[in-house]
Structure 1
Amino acid sequence: MVARIVCDVVVPKSMIAHPARFGGTDTGACLRGDLHIESSGRVHLQNSAFSATPRMVLPALAEAHCHLDKCHSIFRMDNVGGDLLEAIERQRQDKANWTADDLAARASRGLAEAQDAGCAALRTHIDWGDTAEPPLAWTVINDLGLQSPMDVHCAALTGVTEMADESYCTAVARAVAQSNGALGAFIHGQPEIAKALTNMFDAATRFGLPLDFHVDESLEDLNGVETVADAAIACNFEGPILCGHAVSLIRKTPADLSRIVDKLQKAGITICALPTTNLYLQGRIAGTPKDRGLTCLQELRDAGVAISVASDNVGDAFCPLGQHNPMAALNLAALSAHLDPPFEDWLALITTNASRAMGLDPLYVDSAPLSKLRISDAESTADLVAGRAPLLPLANAFLEFQPPK
């Protein structure tokens, strides 16, 4: 009988659904041994003689928030480097260049980058526009997603003013449902927020859609994230809700923050930090910024609120740099938000937590199909998060051997 193994690997316990049944030798934060593939396609560990430098195995990453319609457009823009509202205007101007070929070329590049980074799932926001009809980018990128080996979903990024119109909201939700997408909006202190949220939660319930909001993307005193939580609690919404940014939480008093995080936990909302774009745009002054454009990751986690991080904008008016790589986003979040070791504790932000927030089943090493497992030459999770070794498909690493008779 031919067996397939990967000799001497370590697997973080946080990435195993049932560590006690997985086998291997307990090394503290990880289990170590030879990885064997079972006839069912699942894997387990068996003890072995250890080498000097084991490799690390974990589930594929989940990119919970990016913008494939905007990515890699920075080459058309001069002197970009403003605040959020300036970036919105510069990107709006660039939409004159968004032909089907242009969108397909840039989005394909972004999808390839995410796949090379080790992703198996990706959600991209698509600017929707003033009419209820799906924009060109929605059609082009959904078609690309169907051809991708990753699980690609699009989220409609709409305006609050438009979503306050019930007929518009219903028409958008119906179109989104036909593409297995998510319903979303940009919430930034507009007067129509309450009406828009009522319409969106109702439409999401009727069409079975996940919700995904850009909310409080500012260091100003905004309260959109609490308004979303209130709306979710009021209607007992049972679907997944992802709130990206939530930067204004960093300015809340301890009492206000405690009240809000309690509601977020009760509503089952995941907060997605987007450090690349928020650190670049928020807190701009004449000189070096004094404030960090980042949400309260540690306080949220300590209060039992699900958190994630993602890549957000890559090479566009919102961020001229960036990568379609959740591990790079976690690296930056660890530096900017002081997420200390052990880094095994933070891997859920770009794997299981991110998947759940998108309405997907979380991947664990002991239950995921082989095609959704990754391996790295990183010797520790610190090396892994630092990006010192790439994530590669585990299926390419298996050796076949014939046991001696």
Structure 2
Amino acid sequence: MSHAPGAQSRLSASRLTEARLPGVAVPAALVAAADRFGGQPQGEHLVGDLVLRNGRAERLEAATVPPRRLVLPKLTEPHVHLDKCHTIYRMDGVGGGLEDAISAQALDRETWTADDIRARAGRGLGELLAAGCSAVRSHVDWGSGRDPAQAPLAWDILRELAQDASDAVIVQRAALTGADRMADIGYARACAARVAQSGGVLGSFVLNQPGRKEGIANIFRVAEDMGLALDFHVDEGLAPGLDGLEMIADAALATRFGGPVLCGHACSLMNRSDKDVRRIAEKLARAEISVVALPTTNLYLQGRNNGTPDRRGLTRIHELAAAGVNVVLGADNVRDAFCPLGSHDPLATLSLAVLAGHLDPPFGDHLPMITTGARRALGLAPVTVDGAAIGDLQLFDALSVTDILGSRSAPRPLTDDLPGASV
């Protein structure tokens, strides 16, 4: 996987003293200082000619031509499973809920080889790059063997793929092990030490396991000791009584944990009363825990009955956001036992979330869920258009956010339209 041409373009563009990109629209939600950035307000956008100085977007000046291009920062994918993706083609008749998917995927995993994982995960990463992503977090199943310090085969293969693509994308790996196993402090320390040694994120699956509360406490303890970020698959279901999300918030507050924490799924909030949701959301906001909604997989797996589902498999996006929680969006599973469809494209995820979660216009207001907010959820500094390096921005041949959500426009680098910026 080579990205040398893109790297050369960015290096050449960075040498530009000043350049102008005429006729662009920038979503106002992705501008940190609109009063200094300039541009003419036009609906949810600021329009004008984009002035670039010393390789960075400096300001918008009065448009010399009508806007015909949309400028966005690169996208962020906070939750995928590159170790599992693109396996559905070899599964016969897979369907059903979460437990069925876990069983089917475990059976397929027995056939995995290094070449198989490399080909599938490499394909998935290539799709994320083509969609315009510059930061990705992929979970890797961990703990199928007895030795908690033994990394699975996919762990090192993803590291190799990340190194090969390091000029174009940040790839974070999150080890995904059961909260019940982490209840053993010896196991938790050994697992966390191996994850820390390889620059990973400590993750855990929290559902209704016995010992999950002790497991969560150990996870925070070892993560604090080793300086690890945390990522939880939590309450991925609509059964009554799931309580992992509040346990995680309580543990974060009790330990005053300083690292970033991201919680995925949290579907069971749909079962809770408004009073409960407000209480839990307030704790999440106070602990600065981000929540990633995963509409594709959760719509497919959750709320199953003998007929047409009548419940959405989503978390409480609106209520969490209203309480000040950083809510973001992820693709989750792509064409595997957990979701036979899906795509590695944050814009497609946002488009589905708009429909499933009633995220009403202006659609630009939701872009932070796959850009600035998503980066913050991964512990990365947000990138807004104003002040961004040319290589951190991209162009869409579209007039509005509505256009790119409805048409799946492909992004391209700013250097395509900057004379003298490429080699």
TM-score, normalization: structure 1? 0.96
The residue aligned with 1:375 is 395
Instruction: State whether residues 2 and 400 of structure 1, in contact with CA within 8 Å, keep that contact through their aligned partners in structure 2.
Output: no
The residue aligned with 2:10 is none
Instruction: State whether residues 138 and 154 of structure 1, in contact with CA within 8 Å, keep that contact through their aligned partners in structure 2.
Output: yes
The residue aligned with 2:94 is 80
Work out the CA distance in 1 between the residues paired with 2:187 and 2:243: 25
Instruction: State whether residues 55 and 390 of structure 2, in contact with CA within 8 Å, keep that contact through their aligned partners in structure 1.
Output: no
Q: Summarize deviations over 1:1-22 as a string: whole Å, max 9, x none.
A: 9742221001111111111111
Work out the CA distance in 2 between the residues paired with 1:360 and 1:172: 24
> Aligned ranges for residues 40-51 of structure 1 at < 5 Å?
40-51=55-66
The residue aligned with 2:302 is 282
Work out the CA distance in 2 between the residues paired with 1:5 and 1:90: 53
The residue aligned with 2:156 is 139
Secondary structure, in 3 states, of the residue corresponding to 2:56?
coil
The residue aligned with 1:160 is 179
Which of 268, 279, 283 is the aligned partner of 1:263? 283
Instruction: State whether residues 142 and 175 of structure 2, in contact with CA within 8 Å, keep that contact through their aligned partners in structure 1.
Output: yes
Secondary structure, in 3 states, of the residue corresponding to 1:10?
strand
Secondary structure, in 3 states, of the residue corresponding to 2:328?
strand
The residue aligned with 1:104 is 118
> Aligned ranges for residues 320-359 of structure 1 at < 5 Å?
320-359=340-379
Q: 1:395 deviation in Å?
A: 2.5
* Stretch of structure 1 that moved more, 360-369 or 276-285: 360-369
Q: Does 1:95 align with 2:109?
A: yes
The residue aligned with 1:299 is 319
Q: 1:97 deviation in Å?
A: 1.6
Work out the CA distance in 2 between the residues paired with 1:315 and 1:125: 15
Q: 1:171 deviation in Å?
A: 1.5
Q: 1:311 deviation in Å?
A: 0.4
* Stretch of structure 1 that moved more, 33-42 or 311-320: 33-42
Secondary structure, in 3 states, of the residue corresponding to 2:26?
strand
Instruction: State whether residues 347 and 408 of structure 2, in contact with CA within 8 Å, keep that contact through their aligned partners in structure 1.
Output: no
Q: 1:400 deviation in Å?
A: 4.5
RMSD of the alignment, in Å? 1.5
Q: Summarize deviations over 1:319-377 as a string: whole Å, max 9, x none.
A: 00000111111110110010000011100100111111111111111132211111111
> Aligned ranges for residues 99-248 of structure 1 at < 5 Å?
99-130=113-144, 131-132=147-148, 133-148=150-165, 149-221=168-240, 222-248=242-268
The residue aligned with 2:33 is 18
Q: Summarize deviations over 1:99-139 as a string: whole Å, max 9, x none.
A: 11000000000000000001000000000123311111101
Secondary structure, in 3 states, of the residue corresponding to 2:110?
helix
- Note closer, same or farther for the CA distance 1:256–1:145 as it changes in structure 2 (3 Å cut): same
Secondary structure, in 3 states, of the residue corresponding to 1:97?
coil
2:50 maps to amino acid:
L
1:10 maps to amino acid:
A
Instruction: State whether residues 17 and 53 of structure 2, in contact with CA within 8 Å, keep that contact through their aligned partners in structure 1.
Output: no
Work out the CA distance in 1 between the residues paired with 2:107 and 2:413: 39
The residue aligned with 2:85 is 71
Work out the CA distance in 2 between the residues paired with 1:386 and 1:244: 26
2:108 maps to amino acid:
D
* Stretch of structure 1 that moved more, 164-173 or 353-362: 164-173
Q: 1:385 deviation in Å?
A: 2.1
Q: 1:267 deviation in Å?
A: 1.0
* Stretch of structure 1 that moved more, 323-332 or 20-29: 20-29
> Aligned ranges for residues 382-397 of structure 1 at < 5 Å?
382-397=402-417
Identity over aligned residues, as a percent? 49
Q: 1:44 deviation in Å?
A: 2.3
Q: Structure 1: give runs of 5+ residues left out of the alignment.
A: none
Work out the CA distance in 2 between the residues paired with 1:316 and 1:2: 48
Q: Does 1:32 align with 2:47?
A: yes
Instruction: State whether residues 334 and 340 of structure 2, in contact with CA within 8 Å, keep that contact through their aligned partners in structure 1.
Output: yes
Secondary structure, in 3 states, of the residue corresponding to 1:57?
strand
Instruction: State whether residues 118 and 393 of structure 1, in contact with CA within 8 Å, keep that contact through their aligned partners in structure 2.
Output: no
* Stretch of structure 1 that moved more, 365-374 or 239-248: 365-374
Instruction: State whether residues 278 and 293 of structure 1, in contact with CA within 8 Å, keep that contact through their aligned partners in structure 2.
Output: yes
2:233 maps to amino acid:
H
1:21 maps to amino acid:
R
Secondary structure, in 3 states, of the residue corresponding to 2:128?
helix
TM-score, normalization: structure 2? 0.92
Q: 1:300 deviation in Å?
A: 0.8
Q: 1:292 deviation in Å?
A: 0.7
Task: State the aligned residue count.
Answer: 400
Q: Summarize deviations over 1:57-83 as a string: whole Å, max 9, x none.
A: 011100000000000011110001110
- Note closer, same or farther for the CA distance 1:3–1:260 as it changes in structure 2 (3 Å cut): closer
Instruction: State whether residues 294 and 314 of structure 2, in contact with CA within 8 Å, keep that contact through their aligned partners in structure 1.
Output: yes
Q: Structure 2: give runs of 5+ residues left out of the alignment.
A: 1-15
Work out the CA distance in 2 between the residues paired with 1:159 and 1:134: 15
Instruction: State whether residues 348 and 408 of structure 2, in contact with CA within 8 Å, keep that contact through their aligned partners in structure 1.
Output: no
Q: 1:40 deviation in Å?
A: 4.8
Work out the CA distance in 2 between the residues paired with 1:233 and 1:159: 22
Instruction: State whether residues 55 and 389 of structure 2, in contact with CA within 8 Å, keep that contact through their aligned partners in structure 1.
Output: no
1:188 maps to amino acid:
L
Work out the CA distance in 1 between the residues paired with 2:245 and 2:366: 23
